[in-house]
Amino acid sequence: MGTLYLVRHGQASFGADNYDQLSPLGREQCVHLGRYWRESERLGAYFAAKGLQFDAAFTGTLQRQIQTLAGICKGGGYSLAGVQRPGLNEYDSEAVIGAIHPHKLHKPTSKEEYRNHFRLLRDGLAQWMAGVVTPKGMPEYADWRDGIVETLDLVRNSSHSNVLIVSSGGPISTVVGHILGTSPETTIDLNMRIRNSSVTEFAFTPKRHMLVTYNTLPHLDDKSLESWITYA
């Protein structure tokens, strides 16, 4: 039996001209996760402080995902050449909103504007998942989901013991929803609550994946790091 670790990218640059870059805090979140894995994953008294090691690593092609893996490697002292798979990329949230809202939204600056942004995103996701709309430049939802599942199947059919995937909130919540058979509404709820640099863990065999934990932040489990917990 193997273990799959799914990590959401660190805090990106929400509201900036280029969202697809980690913020300074996002970089620190990822370095801290790598350091946590290096220092706290022990195999017991029979092993001399041997930390968690990965047999394979995958990311999408987005910069925030690639930068997150680099941060984990820096913090943990890993030498991982992440295989880039476009099927692990996030959906285009602007295109999802644009499919149901004809006017381009300006960058939110108030709490009400942020709430409106995410209300529209939830509605757009629900309609995309139901096949009502197809956001510009994006595939049908079923095809997008299948691109994520392809990587799951690759992991499941491998001989690896520990696999790391760095992706985004949409793909990770879709994986959980796919494995557990949740409703679209529940999958969207999972998506909206996933935190930056969080870890979702699956056990896997050649037959199936089994959820162990979801959206955990063991590396930020300290009162002094409460301000490091982010969602964007």
d(CA 56, CA 158): 10
Handedness of CA 114, 213, 33, 204 (dihedral sign): negative
> In this predicted model, what pLDDT tens digit does every residue of 4-59 receive, in sequence order?
999 999 888 665 566 677 888 887 887 888 887 765 432 222 222 336 788 999 99
Handedness of CA 79, 83, 84, 90 (dihedral sign): negative
What does the pLDDT read at residue 51?
A: 66
Q: Where are the alpha helices (DSSP H) in 41-140?
A: 63-76, 93-98, 111-129
Task: Report, as an integer, the average pLDDT of 217-223.
Answer: 84
Share of the chain above pLDDT 70, in %: 91
The H or E element spanning position 33 is: helix 24-40
> In this predicted model, what pLDDT tens digit does every residue of 132-162 receive, in sequence order?
999 999 999 999 999 999 999 999 999 999 9
Nearest alpha carbon to residue 154 among 65, 57, 220, 68: 57
What does the pLDDT read at residue 89?
A: 96
DSSP string, 123-155: HHHHHHHTTS---TT---HHHHHHHHHHHHHHH
**Please, what is the average pLDDT of the chain?**
87
d(CA 117, CA 136): 18
d(CA 128, CA 123): 9
Measured in whole angstroms, the distance separating CA 221 from the mean position of its chain's CA atoms is 19
Residues facing residue 203 across a β-bridge: 3, 210
Contact 209, 196 (CB under 8 A): no
Domains and CATH numbers, the chain: 2-89+139-228 (3.40.50.1240), 92-137 (no CATH)
> In this predicted model, what pLDDT tens digit does every residue of 90-128 receive, in sequence order?
999 999 999 999 887 777 778 888 898 899 999 999 999
